[in-house]
Amino acid sequence: QVQLQESGPGLVKPSQTLSLTCAVSGASISRGSNYWSWIRQPAGKGLEWIGRIYTTGSSDYNPPLKSRVSISADTSKNQFTLKLNSVTAADTAVYYCAREASEASYGMDVWGQGTTVTVSS
């Protein structure tokens, strides 16, 4: 059974870098044809895809965030990390990690429980 678990600071100061990690169990992030993604959701609003990393290490990012985002993988720990720099209050949201499964034509079939990040001084 594949499980994802987000971790990281719940409070980040404006202009600083938000860093979150997604620990994966039950599947290897370096094998197969899956993507490993980050999605966020401001309170009371819809889902926004942030970006993803492939098993080869290549990544895609949402254009509005591309200049501030990086996603990397640590295959030895089977986890992947989101970094979002120069944050503002608009980056306050629940952040989810998810698997985009090749068997589901890259539908997001497994999600973490989400972690709330607040940007405030």
Partner 1 sequence: QSVLTQPPSVSAAPGQKVTISCSGSSSNIGNNYVSWYLQLPGTAPKLLIYDNNKRPSGIPDRFSGSKSGTSATLGITGLQTGDEANYYCGTWDASLNAKVFGGGTKLTVL
Contact residues for partner 1, defined by CB under 8 A: 37, 46-49, 52, 60-63, 96, 100, 104-109, 111-114
Q: Per-residue DSSP letters for 30-91?
A: TSSS-EEEEEEE-TTS--EEEEEEETTS-EEE-GGGTTTEEEEEETTTTEEEEEE-S--GGG
Report the residue number, 11 or 47, with the smaller CB distance to partner 1. Answer: 47
User: Smallest distance from the beta carbon of 58 to partner 1, in angstroms?
Assistant: 12
Report the residue number, 61 or 80, with the smaller CB distance to partner 1. Answer: 61
User: Smallest distance from the beta carbon of 78 to partner 1, in angstroms?
Assistant: 20
3-state secondary structure of 105: coil
**Do the beta carbons of residue 40 and residue 68 sit within 8 Å?**
no
Report the residue number, 60 or 68, with the smaller CB distance to partner 1. Answer: 60
